Amino acid sequence: MGGMLLRLLMTVLALAFSLRVGLAADTQVDLELVLAVDVSRSMDADEQALQRNGYIQAFRHQEVIDALSSGPYGRIAVSYVEWAGPSFQQTIVPWMLIDGEAAAHAFADRLAAAPISRERGTSIANGLLFVGPTFEGNGIAGSRRVIDVSGDGPNNMGVPVQTARDPLVAAGVTINGLPIMIKRAGGFASIENLDIYYEDCVIGGPGAFLVTVTDIKNLASAIRRKLVLEIATRPVLLQKASETEPETRIDCMIGERLREQWMRE
């Protein structure tokens, strides 16, 4: 079943990307950006509130608003999705055009008004499978397509993360990461080197990069800095360490293996 779903996703993405240039009716933007945010219960309620508030503050910050006008069209499209286990993905703010301060503040206001979910499980992969198709049929044609994944643990449920990531990257989507490493690893599927896991197993595509958060006091500024890099017309192309090393540094199935071990014990 998973293989069939993956092949269908690849076919849809490949066809849509081949046709998107000709869709003159679509609104042209500099960037289509999905903010895919982890709301699994490994983060406590206070941390999740700070994470949500970080995105709200970012879209009200002048640095982000200024970045919006840096591209040829002077506008982007953004959606905000929360994800947790394999069966939980929820669109909090659907695709919204942001072309200046008023629209950016409106996006922040919609985000501030929405309740924050808390669900079990961590399936980065199923989150990607959910948001990938939302680029199609949204009435928007972006010069770049980016998925911004934030989370505090490795994929441990659903399909393997590379199974979901690779077709998106092959279709031209860039996946960036915001690994949140505030707490000392202690849960059954927690790992010390989450940043390396994100580099080797989650991010990919043109100019892919990550911003690591190790201090809760820096969460809001990290979110803002990352958004500015993603929105900029010519984003900084940070080389992944995994591209310079001959061997994989981490098992991309480590979350699933830790979960299996926990269930056996």
Domain boundaries, the chain: 2-239+248-264
Q: Which of 90-94, 134-138, 148-152, 241-245 has the lowest mean pLDDT?
A: 241-245
The alpha carbon torsion through 30, 235, 251, 244 (nearest 10 deg) reads 140
Question: How many Cβ atoms are within 10 Å of 33's Cβ, its own excluded?
Answer: 24
CA distance 145 to 171: 10
Beta-bridge mates of residue 35: 80, 148
User: Which of the four pLDDT bands, split at 50, 70 and 90, describes residue 214?
Assistant: very high
Strand 76-83 vs strand 89-98: parallel, antiparallel, or unpaired? antiparallel
User: Which of the four pLDDT bands, split at 50, 70 and 90, describes residue 23?
Assistant: very low
Q: Which of 17-21, 97-101, 161-165 has the lowest mean pLDDT?
A: 17-21
Beta-bridge mates of residue 98: 76
Task: Tokens 């958004």: give the residue.
Answer: 227
**CATH top-level class of 2-239+248-264:** alpha beta
Task: Tokens 């190790």: give the residue.
Answer: 214
Evaluate if residue 78 carries a pLDDT over 90: yes
User: What angle, rounded to 10 degrees, do the helices at 161-170 and 124-131 form?
Assistant: 30
User: Which of the four pLDDT bands, split at 50, 70 and 90, describes residue 202?
Assistant: very high
